[in-house]
Amino acid sequence: MRKELIILSVCCVLLSGCRPGSAFRWVQQDGALCLLKGDSLLGRLDVSETEGIRHTARAERVDAETYCITCEFKAEKDVDDARLQVGFTHPSPSNYWMIPAVSYNGNHWGKGQEPKGADENGQWRTLSYRRTPIPGAMYSEGSSYAFATWSEVPLEADKDFSISLQPDKEQTSHRYLWPEEEMPVTYSGRDRFDKGYRKTCPLGKGEKVEMKVYLHIAPMQKEHAAMRSFLEKAWEMAGKPEVEVLPPQRLWELGTQYARESLWAEEGDYRGFSIGLTLAPDGNWQQRPGGKYEIGWCGQNASLAITLLQDYLKNGRQESLEKGMATLDTWSRCALPNGLFVCHYDNILYGNQGPIDACNLGTAAVNYFEACDMARQCGFERPQYEQLAYAICDFVMKDQQPNGCFAKGWTPEGEALYREGTVGCFMVPALIEAYRRSRNEAYLASARRAYDFYIRELHENGFTTAGALDTWCIDKESSISLLRSALRLYRLTQEKSFVEDAVAISYYLSTWLWHYDEAYPPGDNFADYGFHTFGATSVSVQHNHLDPYALYWVPEWIELSDITGDSQWRQKARAIWRNGNQLVSDGTLEINGHLRPAGSQNEAYFECQWGFTGNTDIHRINDWLVAWPGAFRLETLRRLWDRWEEVE
């Protein structure tokens, strides 16, 4: 095949006071387009050579650290199965690499069975861009520089592409492949793999395909901080569509209605909220028959109860007062003599003994501190609420390890079951609140020791772990307690290091945030119901799908924007709010053939090949109307009560 001249187009106008990237230049060496700084080779462009297809390539400067690489392929004859590839390779191994929301240095932490490493039995993994929060994003750290690449959003299915990050012994490659494939296997469900797939796309003579890759280069920094400039650039370039959602007042009304009417449950001596609604065999909605009652995490009983007390104070609804107080009184009976707290009321109703996890336990303590104050505002003195919260804090302080970490879970008798994972950090905000109320220095000392342990893990590893209780892996949920702790410690101490930590945590959380709207064809669930992916977050490396969990940290990012003056955090908070409030039912919303109760919203959105392989009954929008999205939405509105314009 005739080799084509590689066209290089680089802007030659340099800004005065050259930024670090201004010394980069592209040259042609040994038949490849190469990136140099001075005489040092930083990387080269690898373009597939395919019989019957010729290509041209050019690199154009976007700014001093970012280039847009465009490769155009043209068929010189009919090609039955065109397979095209563009890659950027830097000549250094990577001690740390990342495919955001998919793989953090190979996902070797944890007991989950998600994809481990960059290869499968010696074959490099390929995966669809749809799994990534920035289209096709990859990041790797070399010896002196960190490199990030991403692409543009395909607007038609035949433009879908895949990626492959290949950290080898002496070099690291970021590769883009067309048409879309996932090989040698596809990760199709939690801990489940199916046979890989490759789409086929013929090219007729004269037809063209354009592949575009953005390359961002940043000097190496400690604690993986080089990724920040890449994330800033990707956010700057993001389209940021404005999604229309219901106004805060309407969302408040619908959310409290859902709690009072659809989630309310009475069973034995239990008065509180169900964990959510599922479809019964007859096609009608029913409260989930098992694993029904939970204080925090998915069930969010305490948070919903406090919201109803707020609803009573602001709107005078007597039903909200009665159900809010009944819930808090019911759950207050779950306090154990050793200071622990039974987090699943099913265990009391049915005589079970399950583990007590740090996520639920920390949530119980924080919420019962607040509940004591809210009850008093409503005319009820409930000192036992505050006492049980203090007792939880006292227990975990005694159980805290010398290095500062807490357990991930305990038996009701107080024996630690496991200590791995950032999830133990859910106890830190409770300890900070215990100190704020009591001024007992022991609580603050314990909180700081634990915080130091968990923030060190993020700085060293580049990820946090095990906040999603149905997984045991790298995730995003574990970082919210870390972010919340950093900002609360800053408020207490005014130490700038906590703001710096909050920024680092927020960049990590940004690696889970969808920066674009994925395009879906007519007839697809997302297209039919107008669901936008922009502003969503992926769950974990073990669960590759979207949810509205980030609603929980909207106030933190607004606060961080106020403290730092960095507008990206407020912009991202707004994107999260709008994404997370899509498809909240007003009582007339029908999805997947079922009319949804007022105030309800489903949990999961399957943006990629998740659950679909060999299964024709799966919808991208699932039918699990769980309690937590509404609880988080309402809690955010509580915390922003006098600032609803922030999310309008």
Bond before 100 cis per omega within 30 degrees? no
| Rounded distance between C-alpha atoms, residue 149 and residue 217, angstroms | 9
Phi-psi region of 104 (alpha: psi -120 to 50; beta: other; left: phi over 0): beta
Establish if 554 belongs to a structural domain: yes
Looking at residue 13, its pLDDT comes to 30
Establish if 64 belongs to a structural domain: yes
- Same domain, residue pair 250 and 223: no
Number of domains observed in the structure of the chain: 2
pLDDT at 623 over 70: yes
Task: Return the number of other C-beta atoms located less than 10 Å from residue 443's C-beta.
Answer: 22
Establish if 433 belongs to a structural domain: no
Q: What is the mean pLDDT of residues 479-497?
A: 97
- Same domain, residue pair 138 and 285: no
Are 212 and 67 in contact, with CB atoms under 8 Å apart? no
- Same domain, residue pair 272 and 135: no
pLDDT at 19 over 70: no
pLDDT at 22 over 60: no
- Same domain, residue pair 257 and 145: no
* Cα→Cα distances 643→125, 483, 572, 637, Å: 46, 21, 17, 9
Are 454 and 428 in contact, with CB atoms under 8 Å apart? yes
Phi-psi region of 107 (alpha: psi -120 to 50; beta: other; left: phi over 0): left
Are 355 and 416 in contact, with CB atoms under 8 Å apart? no
- Same domain, residue pair 105 and 160: yes
Enumerate residues 6+ apart whose C-beta is below 8 A from 137: 99, 100, 148, 149, 150, 234
- Same domain, residue pair 69 and 95: yes
Establish if 384 belongs to a structural domain: no
pLDDT at 12 over 50: no
Task: Return the number of other C-beta atoms located less than 10 Å from residue 2's C-beta.
Answer: 5
pLDDT in tens, 44-77: 999 998 899 999 999 999 999 999 999 999 999 9
Establish if 367 belongs to a structural domain: no
Looking at residue 20, its pLDDT comes to 43
- Same domain, residue pair 173 and 224: yes
- Same domain, residue pair 132 and 270: no
Establish if 494 belongs to a structural domain: no
Q: Indicate the residue among 237, 255, 274 that finishes a domain.
A: 237
Bond before 202 cis per omega within 30 degrees? no
pLDDT at 591 over 70: yes
- Same domain, residue pair 587 and 631: yes
Indicate the average pLDDT of the chain.
94
- Same domain, residue pair 282 and 195: no
Task: Return the number of other C-beta atoms located less than 10 Å from residue 642's C-beta.
Answer: 6
Give the residue among 193, 194, 197, 173 at the shortest CA–CA distance from 183.
197
Are 636 and 555 in contact, with CB atoms under 8 Å apart? yes
Establish if 620 belongs to a structural domain: yes
Please report, for the domain that includes residue 154, its CATH number. Answer: 2.70.98
- Here the tokens at position 533 are 């992916």
225 CB-side CA count, 13 A: 9
| Rounded distance between C-alpha atoms, residue 510 and residue 641, angstroms | 25
Q: What is the mean pLDDT of residues 499-524?
A: 97
Establish if 631 belongs to a structural domain: yes
What domain range includes position 214? 20-237
pLDDT at 7 over 70: no
Q: What is the mean pLDDT of residues 528-532?
A: 96
- Same domain, residue pair 101 and 188: yes
Spell out where 48-157 has E strands: 53-63, 66-75, 84-90, 97-99, 103-104, 119-120, 123-124, 127-128, 138-141, 145-150
| Rounded distance between C-alpha atoms, residue 490 and residue 605, angstroms | 35
Looking at residue 31, its pLDDT comes to 86
pLDDT in tens, 534-565: 999 999 999 999 999 999 999 999 999 999 99
- Same domain, residue pair 33 and 70: yes
Burial of 341 (0-12, 13-18, 19+ CB in 10 A): buried
Confidence of residue 614 (pLDDT cuts 50, 70, 90): low
Q: Which residue has the tokens 């609360």?
A: 488
Task: Please spell the DSSP secondary structure of 507-535, one letter per residue.
Answer: HHHHTTB--SPPP--TTSHHHHHT---TT
Q: What is the mean pLDDT of residues 362-376?
A: 98
pLDDT in tens, 198-257: 999 999 999 999 999 999 999 999 999 999 999 999 999 999 998 999 999 999 999 999
Q: What is the mean pLDDT of residues 473-493?
A: 97
Q: What is the mean pLDDT of residues 268-287?
A: 97
| Rounded distance between C-alpha atoms, residue 580 and residue 594, angstroms | 21
Looking at residue 23, its pLDDT comes to 84
Name the percent of the chain lying above pLDDT 90. Answer: 92
- The H-or-E segment that residue 197 falls in is strand 192-198
Burial of 41 (0-12, 13-18, 19+ CB in 10 A): middle
Looking at residue 30, its pLDDT comes to 85
Strand, helix or coil at 341? strand
Q: Indicate the residue among 237, 271, 300 that finishes a domain.
A: 237
pLDDT in tens, 502-514: 999 999 999 999 9
pLDDT in tens, 402-457: 999 999 999 999 999 999 999 999 999 999 999 999 999 999 999 999 999 999 99
Task: Please spell the DSSP secondary structure of 415-477, one letter per residue.
Answer: -EEE--SGGGGGGHHHHHHHHHHH--HHHHHHHHHHHHHHHHHHHHHS-EE--STT--SEEST
Give the residue among 626, 606, 603 at the shortest CA–CA distance from 617.
606
pLDDT in tens, 169-204: 999 999 999 999 999 999 999 999 999 999 999 999
Q: Indicate the residue among 237, 271, 304 that finishes a domain.
A: 237
